[in-house]
Structure 1
Amino acid sequence: MKSIFIFGYYGFQNIGDEAILSCIINDLRKFISNPKIKVLTYNAELTKKEHGVDTISRTGIVQVIKAIKESDLVISGGGSLLQDVTSSRSLIYYLSLIFFAKLFNKKVMFYNNGYGPVNKKLNKFFIKKILKKVDLITLRDVDSKRELEKVGLRNNNINVNVDTTFTLMSSDEKKLDEIFRIESIPFDKKIVGISPRKWRNDGRTKEVIANAIDYISSKGLNVVLIPMKYPDDLEYCNQIKEICNSNPYIIKNYYSPKDVLGIIGRCHFLIGIRLHALIFAAAKLVPMIGIEYDPKNKSFLEMVSQKNAGRIEDIEEEDLFLYIDDVLKNIDVYREILKDKTKNFKDMALKTGKMASELIDE
């Protein structure tokens, strides 16, 4: 029985990261017979309940090192784990896990990760020194590869792929009907989804989004605010609703990634700040308008040729209204573009599971 240790930003009720973990586990099980999977998480009980795997707390350092030592493969499980925008603490923590894995001569793999931004020179130095020892690196976009090359990492084992969550399956229609009933969302009009997040220019962004909601509502459409991280995004959605003149709906309860994928799949189009709201929309062929708070959003929107309303700090209400009008007018065109751009994404994402199985068997 092969033993696999997965680390990432898990147990924080972030839908995107939980979707990544769910897909990694399911994809590994497709290619590796009965793997013994242990996951590093903030909330061991929650992660064990949601994903059906053994778990270990991020704070139990001795237990973490023991788990690494007992594994056959250590996986950096998706997302942009290596970044220093907020602080260097998490970056150093994740690099330390890789360091110990290689110290114990373990196979290490980056599983469709994003990378950056990393701004501090010392952090870039550590990244180059440690990542050059990683056995296999798969990345979810070409910009991540370019940024790694800028720090001097030019390994032959770096592969550009897509985000892992393109293998996620949505909940069935019966389950989604029940969710819409619980959330009191009617079926009388088309739905526009909005996935916001709090950022530095909080007040201005909130006002722009609220006005966009009123603008969309004036066109005879229902707006549903879709939190992707609880409770942070839910609180922010409530704040936005308070300053709206219209009456948007809010997904108030925490649902599984496959439920949220299904909810977004029912949208006419989506306005998203959270990356995985955009990825979920693309997976369900829902046209989108993205707003950048991080370079990863820009990279993804370019990959799927969808509207980018610009940086969150600079977004103008009038421009956003024009983008909304354009998407509504050309909705079928944008859907066909998505269909063409994403047609191979599921197979590409699934291929990483096969690469992991080949690495662990070497």
Structure 2
Amino acid sequence: MKSVDIFLGGVPFGRNNVGDEAILECVVGILREVSPGCRITVSTDRPRETAERLGVHAVPLFGFAPAYSKAEMEECIARADVFMWPGATGLSDYPEIPLAMLEVAHRVGTRTVVWGVGMNDALNPYIYSVLPGKKKVLLSLLSALAFGRVDFVKAMERRAEARAKAKIVEELNRCDLVVLRDPETLAAVHACGDVPGALVGADSAELLTPAPWEGIELTREAREMLESSARKIGLCISAQRQIAHEKELVDFLDRLADRDYRIVFLPINHSTDAPLMEKLRGWMKNHVHSVVIGGHRTPREILAIAGRLDLVISSRLHLLILASVLHVPIIGISRGSKVDNFLAPFGHISAGSVDACDFDHMQSELDRLIDSREEFAEVSTAVHEMLLQRLDAAKAHLAELLAAC
């Protein structure tokens, strides 16, 4: 029986994002489950570490800055039986990168799978909006010369979005299997155009299991706090889009600390989030009741640490996902619609957004959830089982495709 050669790319693996690494670890597990003996190659910024940790072949990270070898990328795609784009929110955050890889695969005849990918209800404004600078000044001047009859800035943005959406539809319709993360992503894709073969699955990180607690290296301060009987609130604010009202957030955390809560800052990206967490902790008046979990952490370690918490507040989607896997109550801060979409099956709404956080809602949700963990566990168990059922249905389609290779 021929071993299927599967190439995973289109996500910035190896860039210190625990969410991306959780997806990768679980996707590797799924592939080995549905296609035993398959050969897996991962495009990652940490080839040696990824190869050792997951037992896969690894090549450099393609598609993302800095410069990479397009010839090597195309060779990897052409050599594979299947190219898989396995997750994250790339359909809106950085669609041009994985779509270009899909285009290569379609050109050389490699089969293609889109797996668990998400999409916000709006494309990344940093890519598809005209940002302040010479171009925007010139377009604004042209609009003024046209006496406002034509908004040249908006016109250029609309054309860029239209091209991106048309490309999304074109490449997805050429794929052998398209499994999207959630129904909201399916709706966002169909808002771009008709993709009749697209299915709804779930985020592969739902399958992650925690690392053994005793084997996790922690500072004495962190271990004592996490093993204490005090109520512990986990917090992660993404440094990609920082919260606008940092002072109000710190005041909120100080109020919790004054009520004898412990604040556990839990970075999902240790290279970017951790410095922000250290800054926020430094601003707290009562920082002795807080700790930052530092160091490069595996997804399974983060999951085990999250399981020690009484509640998690996060603008990072994957900390919300991981906490809910262990039925730890969650409060989301919106950073694009993906957080709102994940919270919806729990009957939750976000505590505002990173641009306009609702601290009153956050406090009322904390007070409600902290004393009703068993009730939350019932809801999260039902949600988790529903997501696993969607994943199982998607895995059946994937197994059928790989068996035919």
Contact 1:307–1:323 (Cα < 8 Å) also in 2: no
Q: Deviations along 1:232-273, whole A, 9 cap, x unmatched?
A: 000110111011112211101111101101111111111011
Asked if 1:39 is matched to 2:80, the reply is no
Q: Match of 1:2?
A: 4
Alignment of structure 1 residues 258-273 onto 2, 5 Å: 258-273=300-315
Does the C-alpha gap of structure 1 residues 230 and 173 become closer, same or farther in structure 2, counting only changes over 3 Å? Answer: closer
Larger radius of gyration: 2
Cα distance in structure 1, aligned partners of 2:234 and 2:242: 22
Q: How big is the shift at 1:106?
A: 1.8
Match of 1:195 in 2: 236
What is the match of residue 138 of structure 2? none
- Letter of the 1:159 partner, please give it: L
Asked if 1:104 is matched to 2:104, the reply is no
User: Which structure carries more strand by proportion?
Assistant: 1
Scaled by the length of structure 2, the TM-score of the pair is 0.82
2:73 and 2:100 mapped to 1: Cα distance? 11
Contact 1:288-1:307 within 8 A present in 2 as well: no
| Structure 1 range deviating more: 327-336 or 23-32 | 327-336
CA shift for structure 1 position 4: 0.1
Q: How does 1:118-129 map to 2 (within 5 A)?
A: 118=123, 120-129=161-170
Per the TM alignment, residue 325 of structure 1 is displaced from its structure 2 partner at its CA by: 1.8
- 5+ residue gaps, structure 2, are 63-67, 129-160
Distance 2:224 2:164 in 1: 46
For the residue of structure 2 that corresponds to 1:154, the secondary structure is coil
Q: Structure 1 residue 18 and structure 2 residue 18: aligned? A: no
Q: Give the match for residue 208 of structure 1.
A: 248
Kept in 2, the 8 Å contact 1:196–1:273? The answer is yes
Residue 179 (structure 2) pairs with residue 163 (structure 1): no
Which is further off, 102-111 or 268-277?
Answer: 102-111
Q: 1:60 to 1:273 in 2, by over 3 A?
A: same
* 3-state secondary structure, aligned to 2:252: helix
Q: Does 1:67 align with 2:107?
A: no
How far apart, CA to CA, are the structure 1 residues paired with 2:295 and 2:6?
Answer: 32
Post-superposition offset of 1:135: 1.2
Judge conservation of contact 1:291–1:308 (CA < 8 Å) in 2. Answer: yes
Kept after mapping to 1: 8 A contact 2:329/2:370: no
Give the Cα–Cα distance (whole angstroms) in 2 for the partners of residues 350 and 333 of structure 1.
26
TM-fit CA distance, 1:122: 1.3
- State the secondary structure of the residue aligned to 1:311: coil
Residues 353, 28 of structure 1: alpha-carbon distance in 2 compared, 3 angstrom cutoff: farther
CA deviation profile, 1:106-150 (whole Å, cap 9, x unmatched): 211111110243261111111122211011111111110001101
Identify the residue that residue 335 of structure 2 maps to in structure 1. 293
Structure 1 residues 100 and 200: alpha-carbon distance in aligned structure 2, compared to 1, 3 A threshold:
closer
Q: CA deviation at 1:219?
A: 2.3
> What CA distance in whole angstroms lies between the structure 1 residues aligned with 2:4 and 2:354?
44
- Asked if the contact 1:38/1:54 (under 8 Å) is kept, the reply is yes
How many residues are matched? Answer: 354
Q: How is 1:1-362 mapped onto 2 (pairs within 5 angstroms)?
A: 1-7=3-9, 8-57=11-60, 58=62, 59-84=68-93, 90-116=94-120, 117-118=122-123, 120-155=161-196, 157-176=197-216, 178-179=217-218, 181=220, 183-186=222-225, 187-188=227-228, 189-198=230-239, 200=241, 202-204=243-245, 206-247=246-287, 248-362=290-404
Partners of 1:80 and 1:114 within 8 A in 2 = yes
Structural RMSD (CA): 1.9
Change (3 A) 1:182 1:72: farther
Structure 1 residues 290 and 40, CA gap change in structure 2 (3 angstroms): same
Judged with a 3 Å threshold, the aligned counterparts in structure 2 of structure 1 residues 33 and 334 are, in CA distance, closer, same or farther, namely: closer
**Structure-2 change in CA distance of 1:75 and 1:199 (3 Å):** closer
